[in-house]
Structure 1
């Protein structure tokens, strides 16, 4: 299992799911990936639950609360910050917005919820005792993170300015416009121009790819567990992939990680 030792500032450090049915969500991901769960955090932290893969932290589950109304079931992403207040200031200067200002989640770390220059929600996390993912690029672990943005021209410089990304161009045509954080094997996340296919009512968004030893079998298992296959498994230049909804409707992607 590839243990993640460190995460550089600006890189994806954590992902969590806002869920309307925590028990249903837990059962789905246990059945799909074999996750186990820590005891729920105290009520002042919203009953937040950390998920583990073979003992390593891998994701969080956050229960919906009535005061939030019809919040969708969705996976969210956090980028690492070395100074949460400086990050919040940089986000504003780069054309984004601070949706939830920096707060101390003692003793785990500091967080803020932000919006990038293209309107996609993104979190920032400054770790203390909670360092983020303990494992990646493994079956049941996060393997890639991708922004589908309606404003590619604004999004790329936003992440360069707000989070210090050094980006590389993977494609620059109307059919495929894509940049990455880092390059080649060192790439950690991607930004895709989604202006040609996202419906007007769908905002820009981040999506998490989860590793799968067998994408086809894992997608089929998701259906058995009450989920749905949105895009059938297919071979791509970057591996075999599929798009899936879990048993509460939260969308994610699978990507092959078998040797």
Structure 2
């Protein structure tokens, strides 16, 4: 564990009970700096994902990842083999980061994060062929506003969200199972219900993850400038990034306008 100020335990929400006996102001400043770094990593990852998705969708490379089909609802896409690989690649990167972060160097963790965001962009390129550009942009800003409000709540609330986080994780597992089942059933109503529950789940996870990140910082007091702090900030950014991406995709199903030509 990184060295830091002397702490003593008090009661309260997880991680908040450690109050610096010598310099609480320094801890607060360190927390703000750490959270800003986390949000900067998340925002940078979203920018890279958007750029990669847009470039693939508007070049000949799009044909390598998906084919465009027409349905009664408008334009839709079907992934190719490479498209399926791009869809599964982010999961592989998450697993590598989750189980290997302690053994990896700071540079490796950061590089893997950029590769992950690029792979996510490749897997999301088809949205530019399915939805109207203005609709994608408006949905992104709606998602950003919702995410900012919920994350701010998670950062400022004194309520312990640990139980909420556990409940949301159970909901996430349920969504994954239901989505797999619906791949074979093809029920439009079930897809709608899954999307509604998914929005609730990722809103709850955003608040929980923000509080968890804050609590972890206060618990372990990552020393500024250390490799541990650098790696943890990237990993924490990944959690918020995934919440944002999933929330955006779910909201796009509700408010997105499909292309008809």
Which interval holds the TM-score relative to the shorter structure?
under 0.3
The structure that is helix-richer by fraction is 2
Greater relative CO (CA pairs within 8 A, separation 6+): 2
TM-score normalized by structure 1? 0.24
TM-score normalized by structure 2? 0.24
The structure that is strand-richer by fraction is 1
Q: Based on CA coordinates, which of the two structures has the bigger radius of gyration?
A: 2
